[in-house]
């Protein structure tokens, strides 16, 4: 009896049924031909013999996670599973499915599954991932780097595909370009203020977490969409268990959505309102990103991007959001685990708390431990009502909403008392950068954060370099009560386009620096993080060098290495400069004749321009 491809297809169809593919309302399983317009276009010229449309055995896509498509190709004979060159598309399962994937990868991340065999026992399955916009496929592996050789549920495949670096990088780039489009659309069509833009994005994302709104928003009449959305936000906030946060304070900043005249204005050309268009786009392009990359402060990302395009107002200049790779670095410097409690007294949109939570989750082993982290181990304070609403929405969007969030000044006596009682042992802050004529200095925030930690706790702050090199009475106060463990000089353009040069300070709380006359502080020269300024993506890890650089930095920090040109141990007082540049030995071995002449020319030019050529 000859081998029959229908038998293989039936085995696969039964497998898909068992794995719930046909029961999921968001999944569509199609055979041979797709009714999805984009998929249809991609396969229009993808026939295996080069004539006409490609017709895979199965095409699977989701209305929730729209950037992933699964294609399955079957062959009856396991000898026809894969050819040596993978170029016999009509004859072999792997060759054929990768041919379809290549065509689909212009618009999607594609999981390609090749199946051959006539019964469960002999069945052969190969699974590949062709990341959107890349030139070749990769064998799909799990988190332990083992190859996947069976069909998994859609959610499992989606998750595994998401951890592929090419997929993550492309999704991030898409998110960046979408931020720009979104900003321009909000400015031109929705007429929103700077404050309202990030609030609307977070409001839409919260509303989309509400099942009723998520399923029905496309069917609401345009006139009631704003009210329905505001109600969905209210329901989600009421449901969230955010201790200390006053629910009303969180909901109030979103009230403009239900009454904003431009959001509900019908565009005659497109026959839709700006709010409807925004909900649709954010549902498709941002929501999947949030559900996958839990350690990413998406709200902070949009806030930062919107600020970038407008330059922000004078007040906003004091708010400089910490880049994601630096918030992650803080968690690694502190070595956070589920045994710690992390405090951010100027939490902004919650970037440090999100990174800390992600690091803790990675190290946790049980569901009980994870619940404990969400409920007890994250503490944030934010004074600005709008920023507080953004931080709270960030917590809700992570499906936990249990961080201890306080709205008000971190210097408020009642808040300070409550925070101290929570016994945090790790503090992380990026304080508001002081403007001329303002009372509070960045070091006042650092001092207060350290005072809120228990004895021996680690406090880490990123502050302008002036705090380290200029005299200030707070430097003396800090060293009287806490120990300066380390200071790292950061890249000059870290906060691009804001021109602030920063350093990271690491303190040990409530152990006076001055008491130990032999104590030396470690100074690191961390000026190159591998990020490159690009026109459309801002500072980005273009050559994927950050991970290696970060690991070298951390190794150097934890082992307190002293290396010419990059790190040094030095005994310092409040009178001294707290930065590596003041104490580093130059590593002359890397200096060439060209370097020397270049510096000499620069020096002569400097003298000439300053009218000083006497010596």
Closest CA to 90 of 151, 3, 5: 5
> Is the pLDDT score of 605 beyond 50?
yes
pLDDT, one tens digit per residue, over 177-215 is 888 889 888 888 888 888 899 999 999 999 999 989 998
CA distance linking residue 276 with residue 170, whole number of Å: 26
- Mean pLDDT comparison of 192-196, 375-379, 430-434, 545-549, highest-scoring range: 545-549
Q: What is the DSSP string of 221-283?
A: -GGGHHHHHHHHHHHHHHHS--TT--HHHHHGGGTHHHH-TTTTPPBTTTTB-HHHHHHHHHH
Q: Radius of gyration over alpha carbons of the chain, in Å?
A: 28
Structure tokens, 528: 């190159």
Task: Spell out the residues 6+ positions from residue 431 whose beta carbon is closer than 8 angstroms to its own.
Answer: 346, 442, 445, 446, 461, 463
Structure tokens belonging to residue 42? 């991609």
Range in 263-267, 431-435, 446-450, 457-461 the model is least confident about: 431-435
Name the band, by pLDDT with cuts 50, 70 and 90, for residue 590.
low
Mean pLDDT, residues 25-40 taken together: 94
Distance in angstroms (rounded) separating the CA atoms of residues 382 and 406: 6
Mean pLDDT taken over the chain: 88
Q: What is the mean pLDDT of residues 544-558?
A: 96
Task: Kindly report the pTM of this predicted structure.
Answer: 0.76
Other CB atoms within 10 A of residue 504 CB: 22
- The CA distance from 251 to 344, in Å, is 22
* Least confident span in 63-72, 245-254, 493-502: 245-254
Give residue-wise pLDDT tens across range 265-280.
998 888 999 999 999 9
Report residue 277: phi and psi, to 5°: -60, -40
């Amino acid at each position: 009896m000859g081998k029959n491809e229908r038998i293989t297809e039936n085995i696969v169809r039964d497998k898909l049924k068992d794995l719930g593919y046909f029961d999921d309302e968001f999944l569509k399983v199609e055979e041979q031909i797709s009714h999805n317009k984009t998929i249809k276009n991609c396969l229009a010229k993808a026939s295996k013999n080069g004539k006409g449309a490609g017709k895979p055995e199965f095409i699977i896509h989701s209305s929730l996670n729209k950037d992933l498509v699964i294609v399955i190709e079957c062959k009856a004979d396991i000898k026809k599973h894969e050819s040596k060159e993978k170029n016999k598309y009509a004859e072999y399962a792997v060759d054929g499915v990768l041919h379809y994937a290549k065509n689909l990868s212009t618009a999607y991340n594609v999981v390609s599954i090749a199946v051959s065999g006539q019964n469960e026992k002999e069945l052969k399955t190969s699974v590949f991932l062709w990341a959107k916009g890349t030139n070749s496929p990769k064998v799909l592996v799990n988190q332990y780097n083992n190859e996947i050789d069976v069909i998994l549920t859609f959610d499992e495949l989606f998750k595994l595909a998401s951890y592929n670096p090419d997929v993550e990088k492309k999704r991030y780039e898409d998110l960046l370009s979408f931020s720009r489009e979104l900003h321009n659309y909000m400015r031109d069509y929705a007429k929103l203020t700077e404050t309202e833009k990030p609030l609307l994005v977070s409001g839409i994302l919260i509303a989309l977490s509400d099942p009723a709104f998520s399923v029905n928003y496309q069917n609401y009449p345009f006139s009631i969409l704003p009210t329905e959305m505001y109600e969905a936000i209210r329901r989600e906030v009421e449901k969230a268990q955010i201790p200390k946060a006053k629910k009303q304070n969180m909901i109030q900043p979103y009230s403009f959505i239900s009454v904003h005249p431009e959001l509900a204005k019908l565009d005659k050309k497109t026959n839709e309102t700006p709010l409807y268009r925004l909900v649709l786009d954010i549902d498709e392009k941002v929501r999947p990103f949030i559900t996958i990359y839990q350690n990413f402060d998406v709200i902070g990302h949009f806030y930062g991007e919107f600020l970038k395009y407008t330059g922000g107002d004078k007040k906003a200049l004091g708010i400089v959001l910490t880049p994601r790779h630096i918030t992650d670095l803080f968690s690694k410097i502190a070595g956070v685990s589920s045994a710690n409690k992390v405090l951010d007294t100027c939490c902004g949109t919650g970037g440090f708390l999100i990174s800390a939570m992600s690091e803790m989750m990675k190290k946790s082993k049980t569901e009980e431990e994870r619940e404990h982290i969400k409920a007890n181990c994250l503490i944030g304070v934010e004074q600005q009502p709008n920023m507080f609403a953004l931080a709270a929405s960030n917590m809700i969007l992570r499906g936990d909403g249990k961080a201890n969030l306080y709205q008000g000044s971190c210097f408020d006596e009642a808040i300070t008392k409550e925070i101290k009682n929570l016994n945090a042992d790790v503090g992380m802050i990026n304080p508001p950068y002081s403007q001329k004529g303002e009372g509070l200095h960045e070091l006042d925030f650092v001092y207060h954060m350290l005072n809120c930690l228990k004895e021996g706790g680690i406090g880490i702050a990123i502050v302008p370099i002036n705090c380290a090199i200029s005299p200030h009475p707070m430097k003396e106060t800090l060293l009287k009560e806490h120990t300066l463990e380390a200071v790292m000089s950061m890249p000059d353009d870290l906060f691009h386009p804001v021109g602030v040069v920063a350093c990271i300070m690491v303190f040990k709380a409530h152990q006076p620096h001055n008491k130990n006359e032999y104590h030396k502080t470690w100074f690191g020269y961390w000026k190159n993080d591998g990020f490159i300024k690009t026109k459309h993506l801002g500072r980005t890890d273009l050559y994927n060098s950050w991970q290696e650089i970060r690991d070298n930095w951390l190794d150097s920090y934890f082992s307190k290495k002293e290396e010419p040109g990059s790190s040094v141990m030095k005994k310092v007082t409040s009178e001294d400069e707290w930065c590596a540049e003041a104490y580093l030995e130059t590593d002359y071995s890397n200096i060439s004749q060209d370097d020397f002449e270049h510096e000499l020319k620069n020096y002569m030019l400097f003298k000439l321009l300053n009218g000083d050529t006497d010596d």
